[in-house]
Amino acid sequence: MDIEKYRVKPKSKVKLKDYSTKKDDSYDKQEVKDVLLPENLEKMFEYQEKLYAENKQAILVVLQAMDAAGKDSLIKKVFTALNPQGCKVTSFKQPSVEELDHDYLWRIAKATPAYGEVGIFNRSHYEDVLVTRVHDLVDKKGNEKFWNSRFEELNNFEKHLDNNGVKVVKIFLHVSKEEQKERFLDRINLPEKHWKFASSDILERQKWDDYMKAYEDMMQKTSTDYAPWYVVPADNKWFTRMVVSEIMLDILKKLDPKIPALSEEDEKNLDKWREILLSEDDNEE
C-alpha cells in the first residue's frame, strides 16, 4: 500500500475535498478482514515486543476526527492487537479545574508515552486549535497571529518529543458528512447504540464547514517531517483499519527496535545457570 498518498506534505496547501473519504476499490473487504489486516496486526505485535524490550524509543499516535468517524472502534480493532503492558490510551475531554489552572500543554505532556510504549491520544493537544478556535473560546476570532503562534508551539513541542526519542504520528479520520449522518441516525434508531448518542454532536455538526477550515489550516501549519499528518479515509471502517495498520508498520520498521543483548558477564554465565536449573530435582518439594 502506498501510504504516502495519505500523508500531508509539510507546508503544502490542504483542501480536504481533495482527499477521498472512501475505500480504495483495489482492496477486497473480505481479504482485508481475513488475511491482510490480521497479518499486519501480528507484525505490529512483534515489533512492539522489541520496542518494549529495547526501552529506548516510543511512539505517540494522535487521533483526531469529527464525531462518529470511528476513533474508538479503530483503537479496539487495531491497537488492542498490541500488548497492553506497552500500550496506553489517553482520551482528552473538557479540561478539569486543575488542568485549566495550567498552560494548555500541561496535561498533554503528562500523558506522553514512556520509552518502550505506544501511546494513543484519542483527541489531543489539537483540540486547542480546533474546538477552541471554532467556538472562539479564547476570544481570538480572526487573530491569525495568535493561532500561528500556537501552531508554532505545537510544532516545537512535537520536535522536542522527536529529539528525545518519541516518534509522533498524527492521523485524521476523514469521514464524509453523509456518512456521519448515517452513523448518527444509527445511534438514534438502534437501542444498542443509544449510549453513543449525544445531542451536542448534532449541534457540532452544524459547524461542519468551520471545522473543515480549521482542520485544513491546522494540518497545513503542523504537518512536518518529524510529526506528519495522515488523512485516512473513514467512510469504510475496515479500510480505515487497514490503512492505519500500514502506517503503524511503516513507523515501526523505520524505528527498527532491537532486542537488547545480555551483558558480557551474563552471556559468559549462561552455561552455569543452565546447569543449575537442569540439576534441580523436579520432585523436590
Q: Residue 71: its pLDDT value, please?
A: 95
Euclidean distance between CA atoms 153 and 159, whole angstroms = 10
> Dihedral through CA 146, CA 148, CA 150, CA 154, nearest 10?
180
Please list the residues that pair with 229 across neighbouring strands: 170
Contacts of 265 by beta carbon, 8 Å cutoff, 6+ apart:
none
Q: Hey, what's the cell of 119?
A: 501511546
Q: Evaluate whether 218 touches 126 at the Cβ level (below 8 Å).
A: yes
Q: Residue 282: its pLDDT value, please?
A: 67
Give residue-wise pLDDT tens across range 98-147: 999 999 999 999 999 999 999 999 999 999 999 999 998 888 888 899 99
Q: Evaluate whether 92 touches 31 at the Cβ level (below 8 Å).
A: no
DSSP-derived letter for residue 166 is: E
Single-letter amino acid, residue 236: N
Euclidean distance between CA atoms 176 and 184, whole angstroms = 12
| Of 110, 111, 56, 52, the residue nearest 82 (C-alpha) | 52
| Of 79, 84, 70, 121, the residue nearest 245 (C-alpha) | 79
- The pTM score is 0.92
Q: Evaluate whether 93 touches 227 at the Cβ level (below 8 Å).
A: no
Q: Mean pLDDT per segment of 10 residues, for the chain of length 285 residues?
A: 95 94 96 97 96 97 96 94 91 90 94 96 94 89 91 97 98 98 95 91 93 96 97 98 97 95 88 89 63
Q: How far is CA 280 from the centre of its chain?
A: 48
What class has domain 3-278?
Answer: alpha beta
Quickly count helices (H) and strands (E) in the chain.
Answer: 13, 5
Give residue-wise pLDDT tens across range 229-253: 999 999 999 999 999 999 999 999 9
Q: Residue 142: its pLDDT value, please?
A: 81
Euclidean distance between CA atoms 21 and 172, whole angstroms = 11
| Of 158, 180, 220, the residue nearest 10 (C-alpha) | 220
